[in-house]
Amino acid sequence: MTSPSSSPDPNSATTQRADLTEPVDRSLVPDDTPPAGQHCPLARGLELVGDRWSLVILREMALGRHRYGQFSEVAEAIPTNILASRLRKLSDHGLIRKVLYQERPRRYEYHFTARGAALLPVMQALAQWGSDQLPECYRPPERFFQLTPADLLRAENGQS
């Protein structure tokens, strides 16, 4: 048992969070979760998409680009080694999925998963903030702001 002045054991089965009245059941946390103290959803989300390029790739997917060559043509000029790395990371974490479209040579398209499409409102809000607060930034096309996560998933499934 811990005294009121000592900190809780982060490795115990349940850990009391200061901002919640219910304990967090640590047995439900995936094995790939970072060490204790790094369970902030904002910090974890930024680990997945907080680098310079991931949201740019996802924005371009939302606007209809799905192939490696198309991503390499964006105005931000993503270096090819970083593009390959980010596509792999986004796929490994279930935000996008790789779909083979050509057998020889093997070539892939990248499509949103439901988890990735759920990021759209976050991307739109950040783009809106950047447009409003950073005057040197361009504003993405209006159609980007009109999209919904359901639109992205319909497009990925060949529906209109």
* pLDDT of the chain, 160 residues: tens digit per residue: 444 444 444 444 444 434 444 555 555 545 555 555 567 888 888 888 999 899 999 999 999 999 999 988 888 888 999 999 999 999 999 999 999 999 999 999 999 999 999 999 999 999 999 999 998 888 889 999 999 999 999 876 665 5
Nearest to 56 by CA among 144, 132, 133: 144
Specify the pLDDT at position 5. Answer: 46
Specify the pLDDT at position 2. Answer: 44
Percent of the chain residues topping a pLDDT of 70: 73
Specify the pLDDT at position 14. Answer: 43
The DSSP code sequence of the chain is: ---TTSPP-TTSSEE--TT-SSPEEGGGS-TTPPSTT---HHHHHHHHH-SSSHHHHHHHHHTT--BHHHHTTSTT---HHHHHHHHHHHHHTTSEEEEEEETTTTEEEEEE-HHHHTTHHHHHHHHHHHHHH-TTSPPPPHHHHH--HHHHHHHHTT--
Residue-range domains of the chain with CATH: 51-156 (1.10.10.10)
Specify the pLDDT at position 139. Answer: 85
Q: What is the pTM of this model?
A: 0.73
Q: Residue 3's CB: how many other CB atoms inside 10 A? A: 5
Beta bridge partners of 14: 25
